Amino acid sequence: MLRLSRSAYMEMLGHAYDCLPEEACGLLAGDPAQRNAPVFYPCRNEARSARVYTVDPRDHLRADRHAESRGMELLGVMHSHTHTAAYPSPTDVEQAPDPAWSYVIVSLAEPEPVLRSFRIVDGEISEEPVAVEG
C-alpha cells in the first residue's frame, strides 16, 4: 500500500489542474520500506505535452537532493492524464524507470479527479492501494 500525506495528495491534484492542458508530473519522497510518501515535488514536464511527460532533469536532481538531505528517498513519480483514465498507457509502461517505484496517475477525464497508483515490473502492471493519511 502507498501511503500519501493529505498535503502531498492535495498538491498532486492541484498541480494536475495547474498544468492543464498539458500533463503534469512530479516526484514522491518518503520511506520506501514503509511505502510512506509525505512529500510531493511538483516538476516541469519537459515534453510540454498533453499526451506524454518527461520529468525535467534539473527538477529531478533538486528533488532527489532535497529528499536525501531530509533522510528520505524518491519512491515514485506522479503524472496526470488529461483526457484518459488513471491507468498506465503503453508509453508509461515503456518509460517506467524503476521497478521499486510507485507510478501514480491522476486522471482529469471525469468531473472529479481520480488518483490511482501502480507498480510496473518488467512491463507487468499491478495496482497498489493508496491511503491518504493525516
Parse the chain into domains and list their residue ranges. 2-133
Neighbours of 70 (CB within 10 A): 12
What's the whole-number mean pLDDT along residues 60-72? 97
Taking the C-alpha atoms of residue 72 and residue 118, their distance in angstroms, rounded to an integer, is: 21
DSSP conformation class of 55:
B
What's the whole-number mean pLDDT along residues 80-93? 95
pLDDT of 97 strictly over 90: no
pTM: 0.95
Give 2-133's CATH code, choosing from 3.40.50.1820, 3.30.365.10, 3.20.20.70, 3.40.140.10: 3.40.140.10
pLDDT of 134 strictly over 90: no
What's the whole-number mean pLDDT along residues 88-109? 94
